Structure 1
């Protein structure tokens, strides 16, 4: 089985690199999927590239742009996570590819074409970046933690809900960042560069690869309540194992305060 996973990981990595080569330019056209949700011709070309690369394996693909089967064994693909960053030339975006069996990611690949960082992992095989083994951080207290979050596409309507969490973390953590790519945020958790990530309003393609990487790097991925996270759950919390319980308690307190 491990040889099969290694082969599938290699296939996912090759597909991510091919698609990533398309992300080194700038988009010629941009359209809106929603009021603040953008899509470019590069998103579409990247997903087509990934589908073509993975087609010989005969496994269905669930992609952000073209849809597809959402159950069983499937590839879950975000061809360009961080489209708004990409459109503006802000260098923080990636390709995200996961192989999911039912509700469990078993292979995860995130490719950052700006830095040529390839994050990859598979169940029981660890997580790596360009061949180097990854481990989550050893931070033990929220007061020493560097945190990262994002804001969903309904943030204009629900700003007060999300800002309550932000205010709490600004007051209690060492620092808070907002990068604009959930997949990259989860990769930084796996790499031990950031200690806590949370976000609302995410889809399976935003978190599936990152969930595998964080777990294989020794971290914990759950819902904000601490319940198990499955790809497509409406929110996610990713931390190292020492901070997870404290973060769940902190967010439970916010929820009970009526946000």
Structure 2
């Protein structure tokens, strides 16, 4: 059953921006051979389409709200009023690798946070013309249809979404153990490759839950509100609500979410401990000059090494 929904003015502006970005993406998808692709890091790509889509989103938002702040994947904080209580969190093309290959699973994600709490959310799938949106306290919708998370209660019946680590330095072995733990307890595991859209699939009930590590605020800000407004739960691997800057997320219908947290909780502390150990090892590693000097003094009496101070990595958190 569909119904006409009175949209919040700020949500209307976000929808306008998302559709404008979607038009740019759809036009570019017709001729991928001429696409200019740059590499941010191994397996992490940005195209001129990402940048053009981001530009039209930022222009649309700041035209309506020039005193708002912007946090965008490709340009960071270079636009808007940096210290505003209102911050737009933007991913102009989530699923760039899919887009480059013509695999039609990618989207535009736009969220508006007030004092750090997401209030408006839009995720637009330009290949299907599907618009997921939510305003805090007013429910979540796909086009004009109200969304509700699934009613499944058993992990053995659940379809779970995830995202694989892909950047150099990601902990693949740890992820594979996590993957195995989840896979052996659910009905199926899927990895389409666009986290913002995956979160919307939880809200729509297509998935019963979703989990991933290494995500940034622009990947999860919009989708997380859409899930909670559809009756689902979102948190970090220990079930706490502070997930936006934690680089780990689990989301799902209430019953499945609880079971997912039980499975994933052990991995939070392990991942952080291993990152701290890696940081300590990197700090303790001698320079090339030190190594040469040490080799030259191999027969000399060994010196007492200074204690290594362990620093906790920042994890690329936004302010």
Q: Shared topology, TM-score over 0.5?
A: yes
1:237 paired to 2:250: yes
Identify which of 117, 122, 125 aligns with 2:130. Answer: 117
1:71-92 deviation per Cα after TM superposition (whole angstroms, max 9, x unaligned): 7321000000000000000000
Q: How many equivalent residue pairs? A: 257
**Counterpart position of 1:14:** 16
**Counterpart position of 1:89:** 102
Identify which of 57, 62, 67 aligns with 2:65. Answer: 57
1:225-244 deviation per Cα after TM superposition (whole angstroms, max 9, x unaligned): 11113422210010111112
1:18-56 deviation per Cα after TM superposition (whole angstroms, max 9, x unaligned): 100111123411010001100000000000000111112
**Counterpart position of 1:220:** 233
**Counterpart position of 2:163:** 150
Cα deviation, residue 102, structure 1: 2.4
**Structure whose CA Rg is larger:** 2
| Unaligned ranges ≥5, structure 2 | 1-5, 275-319
In structure 1, C-alpha distance between the alignment counterparts of 2:219 and 2:47, rounded to whole Å: 17
Higher RCO, Cα 8 Å, sep 6+: 1
Against the structure 1 CA distance between its residues 230 and 254, is the aligned structure 2 distance closer, same or farther, given a 3 Å change threshold? closer
**Counterpart position of 1:250:** 263
Against the structure 1 CA distance between its residues 190 and 82, is the aligned structure 2 distance closer, same or farther, given a 3 Å change threshold? same
Identify which of 149, 161, 184 aligns with 1:171. Answer: 184
SS at match of 1:221: strand
In structure 1, C-alpha distance between the alignment counterparts of 2:48 and 2:257, rounded to whole Å: 39
In structure 1, C-alpha distance between the alignment counterparts of 2:226 and 2:156, rounded to whole Å: 25
With the length of structure 1 as denominator, give the TM-score of the two structures.
0.93
In structure 1, C-alpha distance between the alignment counterparts of 2:7 and 2:214, rounded to whole Å: 30
In structure 1, C-alpha distance between the alignment counterparts of 2:201 and 2:139, rounded to whole Å: 15
1:37 paired to 2:44: yes
Q: CA RMSD in A?
A: 2.1
**Counterpart position of 1:23:** 25
Please say which of residues 71-80 and 92-101 is displaced more in the overlay: 71-80
In structure 2, C-alpha distance between the alignment counterparts of 1:193 and 1:160, rounded to whole Å: 28
Please say which of residues 217-226 and 21-30 is displaced more in the overlay: 21-30
1:190 paired to 2:197: no
Name the one with the larger strand percent.
Answer: 1
With the length of structure 2 as denominator, give the TM-score of the two structures.
0.76
In structure 2, C-alpha distance between the alignment counterparts of 1:245 and 1:187, rounded to whole Å: 19
Against the structure 1 CA distance between its residues 164 and 6, is the aligned structure 2 distance closer, same or farther, given a 3 Å change threshold? same
In structure 1, C-alpha distance between the alignment counterparts of 2:24 and 2:108, rounded to whole Å: 10
